[in-house]
């Protein structure tokens, strides 16, 4: 009998999710545990595996739709069953987002078309002038999106499910597929505009319909609509300078699986993506793939055949060995004197940081820690450690073990505020801040008190790598009770981190430096020696944690590190 595919639970206190992409189409064979579709919330993107083997016989929820957990989104039939054919012949199931989320609301009146469109009548979003293309729902509590790029221009033929435009919110960048085949007859929203979900951004007319060449009515609420000819409007002139670049870009999108960020990095560095072998799902080219290629081969000379003009605000290429600052990855770079609007993610980060400062009474204490003993242990053991265990030996598990010792001594640091009460958490779940190309995410290593040194190193490496590759499971970004952030990789002496709500403390790691230090021997004699020094900053909520308790916690952390005695595995 057929197997129901449901929207999974997205994490703690999350009751809905957005289906961002189908990785299979109706009629495709699927294997059990093979990635079937992608989902997104404001915290995590994840691939959801098929619950059984068979044939994808029915898709009930279209890309871009937001639905409650446990909603049936598809059906998998056994191979050879008659339900495959019957379900595959139901295109009406694939409703555009505007109809899926607001079916109970009457559609806005549409201007009379010049001629009857030839769009398939089974598509419920068809209007008198063609198929409406809408801004999809991008995730929980997200009510608008920014249209960042059109992948087609007015007059271009489009195929159903072919990438049509790119959108961006504070948590995700995504390509939005065409809801039907035909000709792109109108563009109602220009690149860079931010609009509410379900806004009609374009219209697709059936091939041969006069609608594709008829001038669209101007709109007062959105940017000017596209003119009646296949040329793009004046605001889109750079994209319309040549038909060849658009065709090449569309062809590239069809043959290669990659994200908008990957293609932008490739374009900024004149890299032909056909030279790369993708390591992602189904050969998808990941950010790590393109950055690794650039690191190995460097930038290529400009490629005249594509003829794509360089953007006025190019994103600076990032080094693959370290997470880049958010500003270089998420925001455009303006010229001196220029006003550049915040990216969607930057505006949300600004809001969240201000909310945390408003919620918690932030106080910081900075401790100098002599890491010489640990530096020597690491230098001596790192090669054997990696050969023996398959992961590199970093300083993070040393710091995490010291934090665990500090929390055992001062449990108040591992709490959260609930109304007028304080919740003491049973486990120590450490969030590890990871800088991503689209922002910042804090995956959580659960129950570190139950893990060995090696187990902590493996867990940190695992969640950080999967965070960068969008492979985290939903519950891996929830439930943190204490956070560690490491801006020291960029060289600061120390920082003043902001608390990750609803936690009450965060530890910031400064840079590791050689410094002259006064050493007193057992006889009381002083001498100067060169030592490896790090500055650790504890940001804490003074509503809950007193200064004396915060300093006692840091004394335990410092002593644990300076007198390290554990086996590292």
HEC per residue, 215-261: CCCCCCCCCCCCCCCCCCCHHHHHHHCCHHHHHHHHHHHHHCCECHH
CA distance 93 to 122: 9
Nearest by Cα to 424 from 435, 413, 432: 413
Q: What is the pLDDT of residue 41?
A: 60
Nearest by Cα to 138 from 162, 166, 118: 166
Q: 3-state DSSP call for residue 144?
A: strand
Question: Which range has the worst mean pLDDT, 305-309, 355-359, 391-395, 511-515?
Answer: 305-309
Nearest by Cα to 548 from 431, 438, 409: 409
Q: What is the pLDDT of residue 517?
A: 95
Averaged pLDDT, 374-381: 95
For 194, the enclosing helix (H) or strand (E) is strand 194-196
CA distance 429 to 306: 49
In tens, the pLDDT along 506-521 reads 999 999 999 999 999 9
pLDDT at 411 exceeding the cut of 70: yes
Active site (annotated) includes residue 437:
no
Averaged pLDDT, 9-16: 61
CA distance 206 to 203: 10
Q: What angle do CA 35, 40, 46 make, to 5 degrees?
A: 35
In tens, the pLDDT along 76-129 reads 998 876 444 444 334 333 333 333 333 333 444 433 333 333 333 333 345 557
Q: Token pair 């957005």 is at which residue?
A: 18
Residue 166's pLDDT band (cuts 50, 70, 90): confident
Q: Computed over its alpha carbons, how large is the radius of gyration of the chain?
A: 27
Cβ neighbours around 437 below 10 Å, total:
22
Q: DSSP per residue over 479-546, as a string?
A: --SEEEE-GGGG--S---PPP-TTBSEEEEEEEEEEEEEEEE-TTS-EEEEEEEEEEEEEEEETTT--
Question: Using the 8-state DSSP alphabet, how is residue 52 labeled?
Answer: S
Is residue 442 within 8 Å of residue 433, measured between CB atoms?
Answer: yes
Q: Token pair 């050493």 is at which residue?
A: 519
Q: What is the pLDDT of residue 258?
A: 66
Instruction: Return the structure tokens found at 301.
Output: 């000379």
Question: Which range has the worst mean pLDDT, 247-251, 480-484, 539-543, 544-548?
Answer: 247-251
Q: What angle do CA 399, 403, 407 make, to 5 degrees?
A: 175
pLDDT at 217 exceeding the cut of 50: no
Instruction: Return the structure tokens found at 206.
Output: 């059936």
pLDDT at 408 exceeding the cut of 80: yes
Cβ neighbours around 3 below 10 Å, total:
18
In tens, the pLDDT along 244-288 reads 333 344 344 334 566 556 776 787 788 888 777 777 654 667 777
Q: What is the pLDDT of residue 232?
A: 37
| Residues 6 or more apart whose Cβ sits within 8 Å of residue 97 | 62, 64, 65, 134, 135, 136, 137, 197, 198
Q: 3-state DSSP call for residue 57?
A: strand
Strands (DSSP E) found in 42-193: 45-49, 54-59, 66-68, 72-77, 126-127, 130-134, 144-150, 157-158, 163-168, 173-177, 182-187
Q: 3-state DSSP call for residue 341?
A: coil
Is residue 450 within 8 Å of residue 429, measured between CB atoms?
Answer: no
> How confident is the prediction for the chain on average, in pLDDT?
75
Q: 3-state DSSP call for residue 336?
A: coil
Q: What angle do CA 525, 526, 532 make, to 5 degrees?
A: 135
Angle between helices 453-468 and 372-389 (to 10 degrees): 70
pLDDT at 135 exceeding the cut of 80: yes
- Among candidate residues 289, 437, 542, 551, the one labeled active-site is 542
In tens, the pLDDT along 40-77 reads 765 566 778 888 889 999 999 998 888 887 788 999 99
Measured in whole angstroms, the distance separating CA 318 from the mean position of its chain's CA atoms is 16
Instruction: Return the structure tokens found at 497.
Output: 């981190």
Residue 133's pLDDT band (cuts 50, 70, 90): very high
- Please tell me whether the overall predicted TM-score, pTM, comes out greater than 0.75 for this model: no
Active site (annotated) includes residue 549:
no
Q: What is the pLDDT of residue 70?
A: 79
Nearest by Cα to 2 from 93, 72, 90, 91: 72
pLDDT at 536 exceeding the cut of 90: yes
Averaged pLDDT, 415-422: 93
pLDDT at 314 exceeding the cut of 90: no
Cβ neighbours around 189 below 10 Å, total:
24
pLDDT at 209 exceeding the cut of 60: no
Question: Which range has the worst mean pLDDT, 21-25, 185-189, 350-354, 414-418?
Answer: 350-354
Q: What is the pLDDT of residue 158?
A: 93
CA distance 4 to 206: 34
Q: Which of 85-89, 230-234, 454-458 has the highest mean pLDDT?
A: 454-458
Averaged pLDDT, 464-490: 84
- Among candidate residues 156, 268, 546, 549, the one labeled active-site is 546
The rounded percent of the chain whose pLDDT value lies above 90 is 39
Question: Which range has the worst mean pLDDT, 20-29, 95-104, 332-341?
Answer: 95-104
């Amino acid at each position: 009998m057929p197997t129901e595919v449901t929207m999974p639970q997205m994490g703690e206190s999350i009751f809905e999710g957005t289906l961002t992409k189908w990785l299979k189409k109706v009629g495709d064979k699927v294997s059990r545990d093979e990635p079937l579709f992608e989902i997104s919330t404001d915290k995590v993107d994840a691939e959801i595996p098929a619950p059984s083997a068979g044939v994808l016989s029915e898709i009930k929820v279209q890309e871009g739709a937001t639905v409650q957990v446990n909603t049936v989104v598809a059906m998998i039939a056994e191979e050879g069953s008659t339900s495959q054919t019957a379900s595959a012949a139901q295109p009406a199931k694939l409703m555009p987002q505007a109809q899926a989320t607001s079916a109970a609301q009457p559609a806005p009146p549409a201007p009379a078309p010049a001629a009857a469109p030839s769009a398939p009548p089974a598509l419920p979003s068809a209007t008198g002038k063609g198929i409406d293309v809408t801004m999809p729902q991008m995730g929980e509590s997200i009510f608008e999106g920014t249209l960042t790029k059109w992948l087609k221009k007015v007059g271009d033929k489009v195929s159903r499910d072919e990438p049509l435009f790119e959108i961006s919110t504070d948590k995700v960048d995504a390509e939005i597929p065409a809801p039907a085949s035909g000709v792109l007859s109108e563009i109602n929203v220009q690149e860079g505009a931010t609009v509410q979900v379900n806004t009609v951004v374009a219209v697709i007319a059936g091939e041969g319909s006069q609608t594709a060449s008829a001038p669209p009515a101007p709109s007062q609420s959105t940017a000017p609509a596209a003119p009646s000819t296949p040329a793009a409007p004046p605001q889109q002139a750079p994209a319309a300078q040549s038909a060849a670049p658009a065709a090449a870009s569309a062809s590239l999108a069809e043959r290669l699986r990659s994200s908008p960020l990957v293609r932008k990095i490739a374009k900024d560095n004149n890299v032909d993506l056909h030279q790369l072998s993708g390591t992602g799902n189904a050969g998808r080219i990941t950010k790590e793939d393109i950055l690794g290629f650039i690191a190995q081969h460097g930038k290529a000379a400009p490629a005249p055949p594509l003829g794509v003009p360089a953007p006025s605000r190019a994103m600076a290429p990032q080094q693959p060995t370290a997470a880049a600052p958010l500003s270089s990855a998420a925001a455009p770079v303006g010229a001196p004197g220029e006003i550049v609007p915040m990216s969607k993610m930057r505006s949300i980060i600004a809001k969240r940081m201000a909310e945390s400062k408003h919620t918690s009474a932030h106080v910081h204490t900075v401790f100098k820690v002599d890491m010489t003993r640990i530096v020597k242990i690491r230098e001596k053991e790192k090669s054997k450690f990696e050969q023996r265990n398959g992961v590199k030996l970093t300083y993070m598990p040393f710091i995490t073990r010291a934090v665990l010792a500090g929390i055992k001594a001062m449990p108040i640091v591992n709490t959260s505020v609930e109304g007028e009460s304080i919740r003491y958490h049973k486990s120590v779940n450490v969030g590890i801040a990871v800088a991503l190309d689209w922002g910042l995410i804090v995956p959580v290593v659960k129950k570190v008190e139950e893990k060995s040194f090696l187990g902590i190193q493996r867990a940190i490496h695992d969640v950080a790598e999967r965070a960068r590759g969008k492979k985290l499971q939903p519950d891996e970004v929830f439930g943190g009770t204490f956070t560690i952030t490491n801006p020291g990789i960029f060289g600061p002496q120390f920082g003043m981190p902001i608390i990750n709500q609803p936690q009450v403390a965060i530890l910031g790691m400064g840079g590791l430096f050689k410094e002259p230090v006064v050493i007193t021997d057992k006889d009381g004699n002083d001498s100067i020696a060169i030592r490896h020094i790090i500055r650790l900053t504890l940001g804490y909520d003074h509503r809950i944690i007193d200064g004396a308790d915060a300093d006692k916690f840091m004394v335990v952390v410092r002593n644990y590190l300076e007198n390290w005695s554990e086996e590292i595995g």
